Amino acid sequence: MTSARSILPDDTADEVRPVRTDFLAFAPPALGEEEIAEVADTLRSDWITTGPKTSRFEREFAARLGAPGALALNSCTAGLHTALVTGGIGRGDEVITSTLTFAASANVAEHVGARPVLVDVEPDTLQMDPERVRAAVTPKTRAIVVVHYAGHPADLDAIGAIAAEHRLLMVEDAAHALPARYRGRMIGSGTNPTAFSFYATKNMTTGEGGMLTGDPAFLRRARTVSLHGMSRDGWNRYAEGGHWFYEIEMPGFKYNMTDIQASLGLCQLRKLEGFQRRRREVVAAYHEAFAGEDALELPVERNDVEHAWHLYVLRLRPGVLAIDRGRFIEEMTRRRIGTSVHFIPLHLHPYYRDTYGYGPGQFPVAQSNYERMLSLPLHPGLSDGDVADVITAVRDIVRRYRR
């Protein structure tokens, strides 16, 4: 893959020149002819909604993780919501989750009538702080949604011990964590419900889509929850050998994955190992390039985990540069490098701020890190030249704006 680079910044000029002739997108999907052929095969078949390819995707995904079972859904959010409903979480209950996450981690508690209770994060990994989790438990607490932020696993042993002590449902939000490992175990390989995302920017994609792994008995109930509360899905009613009769066992939801999406997933799953190899190569290049920059705090990977590297989150060290994070991102854009921020802490959003009285400074670790973080491009489609362009841009901004 070629890079459109070759325009280096002029050290003596006040005007910033782009390091590229085209814009480097932050996280485009890595799709090829194999995915196109698999989707075309589905479109030419007699079945395009939830059917044989979705079932096959579930089996192959579970086998890849060593999970006891898997349920394909239309999003990670659906997986989290379905898990809470299946686990009996409802009105008057409290669900603990991180403030440094995407809104879905907390929104699903609202969807079941529960109250999301936010907690702060650890300063190095930015994962949920187990001590803050323990302090947040009340007699109303019924569940913990554990977020594996950026692809680095949270401290599952410590948080799991809290959940076991208080008999809480522990649901893992693994939207970023495919294929991460915690102490040698794949995230999603256990019996507790774990939700994955296949959104377009994720480590593998089905465009939109998700997967819920966990105990087979739990997943059987979750499957009913995820499709209108029906006792039979369409494949079991309309395929050869199926039967027209079904019953509504509860007022469920419309969360099923289609065979068109599963077609993409089957191909992407086969490519996942190669995708991850390239992600680790890009991370290694960033680490090497930025290790000596006192203006930058690099992401960490603890010794007992294997990071999925969904995100590469840089943090600007306070007081070293004469510009803030917002200006740093503007400067990256001027150099035609796409970046993003993950995430605006939930307690700063109007809904959670106004509904629950959260305010600035309430979660100081998450907020202070949010104010100085940005995510660099990290995807398997990056060429060595692309990576060099990102490094050049970051270094140039640091050099120009050092105090």
Strands (E), 27-107: 70-73, 94-98
> Which of these is catalytic: 140, 202, 254, 271?
202
202 annotated active-site:
yes
Q: How far is CA 271 from the centre of its chain?
A: 18
What was the pLDDT predicted at 30?
Answer: 98
Residues 199 and 344 in one domain: no
CB hemisphere CA count around 274 (13 angstroms): 9
**Going by C-beta distance under 8 Å and a sequence separation of 6 or more, which residues neighbour residue 167?**
none
Neighbours of 274 (CB within 10 A): 11
Closest CA to 145 of 178, 193, 180, 190: 193
310 is a domain residue: yes
26 is a domain residue: no
The CATH number covering residue 249 comes to 3.40.640.10
Question: Amino acid letter at 82?
Answer: T
Residues 395 and 298 in one domain: yes
Residues 125 and 151 in one domain: yes
Could you read off the pLDDT of 222-242 as tens digits, one per residue?
A: 999 999 999 876 556 666 777
Q: Model's pTM, two decimal places?
A: 0.94
DSSP 8-state class, residue 34: H
Determine the structural domain holding residue 131 and report its residue range. 33-268
**Going by C-beta distance under 8 Å and a sequence separation of 6 or more, which residues neighbour residue 37?**
none
What was the pLDDT predicted at 5?
Answer: 44
Residues 202 and 121 in one domain: yes
How many structural domains comprise the chain?
2
Rounded to 5°, the CA angle 70-160-135 comes to 135
Structure tokens at 160: 């799991």
333 is a domain residue: yes
Q: How far is CA 176 from the centre of its chain?
A: 3
Is residue 112 classed as helix, strand or coil in its secondary structure? coil
Question: Consecutive 10-residue runs of the chain (403 residues): their mean pLDDT?
Answer: 42 70 97 98 96 97 98 98 98 98 98 98 98 98 99 98 98 98 98 98 98 98 96 66 85 97 98 98 98 97 98 98 98 98 98 95 97 98 98 98 96
What was the pLDDT predicted at 177?
Answer: 98
144 is a domain residue: yes
What is d(CA 22, CA 336) in angstroms, rounded to the nearest whole number? 7
